[in-house]
Structure 1
């Protein structure tokens, strides 16, 4: 055999030593492991730890806080805006991002009208979000934006706004700066009107300058729910205007009026004087926030005789032709003396009501008896809340009948020793206007808890018969006489309309002596109109008039003026010819919010 040698390029020439092959394998393994680690880390960062690192990035580039959103509106029965929410801006600061706190305070102080020392104090030793001022004007906003102050930012919010100013202020109530209801309807229906604040983030660039303000919430189209009241803003304005005029003319302390539609028992007006503007509620005395028509108790005086006579007729205790001797105006009962304003002798039952004899009422109450009288007092809704649902409503003061002495029974017959509210009195009088059927008054017509939810409907109110229909009809006839010629209620009658009503002049108990004051009175008138087909029940209470004191001359004209304007506004035609040929003027209240919050004629 001949010897053969390997030539270059042949297979044998590329055989490497084994150690080189092992080295290549190890190197490839390291590369694969490294590449796998990179892939694993990338997967971990992008997938497994994505939210963690995104949160870290947001902490460096965003400031997150919460801002209020649109609060639902409050409307009257005809769709007029009584309370709404409008855009505003507020200014806040992130103290940790303010390099020159004294300088910032000096620049902002004249713009937001706060002392520089107060602003500087807000920025010291604080981290994160700090309000400087809520609800700034557009001019203030523009000036702040021009300064581009580091760490200072503007936040869009909503401000509660009451277009008609003081109109129905005590009923509507108000909200705090964060939009939470504190009084009135705003508080009662806070869960319906309010929505949760939205999360809001402030984006910054690498130099920590503001980029934009965005939110994860909703815009104006996603609004909170709203409510519609039974209130009529025009009637409310008429009532408030007339109360204000009466308080001024009579030198009175305060007044209230209630207007009901007896057909539905809807409250059309719930007026108080003095008023207050919920746009500036801090400027008003806190006692003026009170809705006196439902919170303040007063002795009703002779208006309460209506319910005594109703009970006596309904029980058959007296007949229309029965007569009582009224003691010529002075009646001794045990150690007490009951007086009439004018002396009277023998009077029939309707005559006693027409001239408003206290002596006659005392004798009639005694004949009826405490137990039966108390039963009707409760049936008319006295001594208990009306059920309207408004916060702060008083239930009244009626002592159990078995605690009454003979004098207590007698004086309760003409409205002493009992405490009621104007709304309770209106509801009870409406029972007579409704033919003897009592029904709970209402203020809410409809509510939407959210824009995408179904309407919250007003529950049908329970009704109960208190009087026979014949009793209510007879009593109405007598109340018409009480406002006719010779009756104490004649000043309450508007031209062209027939009124069924009753006056009341009630002494006020002196808290220092515990006895009735000879100088302090409440003047009251309550009734319904037109008498034959009632459309309105109106109650007027004037507290402590200093000129005249009588219900007929003080509260009666307020009733008349309200009815004279309200009935034509509602399209109610006159139901009688006026002997003087007069007709009630059409002078409806101006309700143009653009003309100013209190521009009501």
Structure 2
């Protein structure tokens, strides 16, 4: 279940068909019958019946139609019961199909975890760690927020369409606790049909994939130099008007039109100056920089409760050439995971403490009683709170006018963030020509809960910069996260023209809600004998719908975010207990 005890993966009882081939005399006839009922090639069934063994599985985890067909056969042909039988088994089912599938993972035929949390917590989920023989499996209470996970996945998919990228990764993490509220990659897959998917779609890119972080490393570099006392917020570095010669190499800005002269560290971050970052890196020193990055968990496993987490790569500082030193200063020549960058930014956001990311907060018994509360992971202070405050203030210029990511601004809030754009590396072979990875990571200054939102788009088409491809996704996800927590924008921070537009849109949105509330009032799921009558849900919020369906014996599937735009089945339909309702939501924009 998610952090709000909403089901996200469940176990259901199914039946599997077995046979005693040694007792079957008319194997050809039996194979013909079973092949037809189970939609299996007759030759395959014959092969299973070929031996004289005392036991063999014919087909495991039958669907309802197959189960009923076999039960009917055994009733009509009692002699078949001498060598055929049905065995009860447990099957994992994911009611939301694609939702969080790369995080959850999936199980095999014997309920053994194969990937994700299903693998990492296999003993708890299967009851293998239960001291009582034949003990039931336990329930995990995740840190994920189901609604926010939906939003993140929807926005990553939308971002891929907008940018033309081949993949996207996103994370929402509480900077104070390390709790991961959402984690996703697009494209994704249906965990119920994982065999139909590719490994490319199944892997959790947040922990398995590494990439060059590009300019998202710059605030971390600046924090280190300030912490070491070799740089102050008011000090300026000369950015060589856009070109820095190092031997036969020339360091340039991301855009050749930028020809910066003297910049403060804050302006280096705001304008994302590569030359300025290289100058600060030289001032800081390669050994200090290497140790500082390591202190932030860069190229180190985070300790998250997921299998397959990789380290990333940063060669020891005593092997750095001057050109490599400069490159690592602005996030090239080093590889990290998305989770490592998210965790590093959490330390900037929370005042200087490195937290341990986690996905499970509590374990419940099979009956739902608390068994164990999992404490927040190890926390370690890595810098002075004043340093994080200085750098956070510098980062607020990035999403403002004149920064590299005005499209990442969230009206009514102060965004502290940073863009990253790096050429896509091919391990051991250099770089893919014309292929980039665009990212944006940030948080809201002075707000609790203190969420860090990370977004990376792989191979976006032009414009391929982080401020264009990733920042808009950040804005939409962060806006949803703030709304979910009921945090209102500060209207004094919204420009007058945008505020007027916002008020108009809010009136329209409120009118839609008012009309909807009249149309469905009272919105109740009327029980008619053994059935529920579905009401008109149009115009309701996701929370309204979830409250309406809580403690009802119906399966609810929510798609999208915002207000309900369609539902299946339609209002007035009678549903039996256990049947499903699909609700699609679309955004009624309030903030631009």
The residue that corresponds to 1:20 in the other structure is: none
Tell me the residue number matched to 1:165: 97
Structure 2 partner of 1:364: 280
2:353 touches 2:380 (CA, 8 Å); kept in 1? yes
Change in Cα spacing, 1:309 to 1:131, as seen in structure 2 (3 Å) is same
- Residue 525 (structure 1) aligns with: 440
Which of residues 242, 251, 260 in structure 1 aligns to 2:173?
260
Structure 1 position 531, deviation (Å) = 4.6
CA shift for structure 1 position 518: 4.0
Kindly tell me: are residues 474 and 534 of structure 1, through their superposed partners in 2, closer, same or farther at Cα, counting changes over 3 Å?
Answer: farther
Contact 1:135 1:159 in 2 (8 A): yes
Query: What is residue 225 of structure 2 aligned with on the other side?
Result: 312
Normalization by structure 2: what TM-score?
0.81
In 1, distance between residues paired with 2:182 and 2:128?
32
Distance in 2 of aligned mates of 1:171 and 1:511: 25
Question: The residue matched to 1:85 in structure 2 has which SS?
Answer: strand
In the TM superposition, what is the alpha-carbon distance from 1:167 to its structure 2 partner? 0.5
Instruction: Tell me how far apart the structure 1 counterparts of residues 368 and 330 of structure 2 sit (CA, whole Å).
Output: 53
State the secondary structure of the residue aligned to 2:8: strand
What does residue 463 of structure 1 align with?
379
Residue 432 of structure 1: how far off its partner (Å): 0.9
**Counterparts of 1:474-485 in structure 2 under 5 Å?**
474-485=390-401
Q: State yes or no: 1:85 paired with 2:17.
A: no
Aligned to 1:567: 482
How far apart are the structure 2 equivalents of 1:144 and 1:532? 59
Contact 2:117 2:305 in 1 (8 A): no
Q: Gapped runs of 5+ residues in structure 1? A: 1-74, 198-216
State TM-score, norm by structure 1.
0.80
User: Is the Cα contact below 8 Å between 2:37 and 2:66 reproduced in 1?
Assistant: yes
Computing the radius of gyration over CA atoms, which structure comes out larger, 1 or 2? 1
1:490 aligns with 2:416: no
Q: Is the 8 A contact 1:276 1:288 kept in 2?
A: yes
Query: Does structure 2 conserve the Cα–Cα contact (< 8 Å) formed by 1:163 and 1:597?
Result: no
The higher-RCO structure (CA 8 Å, 6+ apart) is 1
Q: May I ask how many residue pairs the two structures share in their alignment?
A: 504
Q: Partner residue of 2:62?
A: 136
Indicate the residue corresponding to 1:541 in structure 2.
456
Q: In the alignment, what sits opposite 1:178?
A: 110
Q: Shift of the alpha carbon at 1:263?
A: 2.1
Alignment of 1:373 with 2:289, yes or no, is yes
**Conserved? CA contact 1:483–1:490, under 8 Å:** yes
Task: Quickly say closer, same or farther: Cα 1:240–1:292, change in 2 above 3 A.
Answer: same
Change (3 A) 1:442 1:597: farther
| C-alpha RMSD of matched pairs (Å) | 2.3
Q: Does structure 2 conserve the Cα–Cα contact (< 8 Å) formed by 1:437 and 1:464?
A: yes
1:335 aligns with one of 230, 248, 259:
248
CA shift in 2, pair 1:100/1:380, >3 Å? same
Name structure 2 gaps, 5 residues minimum: 510-540, 547-555, 558-578, 587-592
Which 10-residue stretch deviates more, 81-90 or 166-175?
Answer: 81-90
Matched, 1:440 2:356: yes
- Partners in 2 of 1:127 and 1:507 — Cα distance? 59
Q: Give the CA deviation at 1:94.
A: 1.4
Question: What does residue range 232-251 of structure 1 map to in structure 2 within 5 Å?
Answer: 232-251=145-164
Question: Does residue 301 of the first structure (1) align with residue 217 of the second (2)?
Answer: no
Question: Which residue number corresponds to residue 399 of structure 1?
Answer: 315
Map of 2:415 onto structure 1: 499
Change (3 A) 1:224 1:498: same
For residue 24 of structure 1, what is the aligned residue in structure 2?
none
Q: How far did 1:511 drift?
A: 5.5
Judged with a 3 Å threshold, the aligned counterparts in structure 2 of structure 1 residues 569 and 94 are, in CA distance, closer, same or farther, namely same
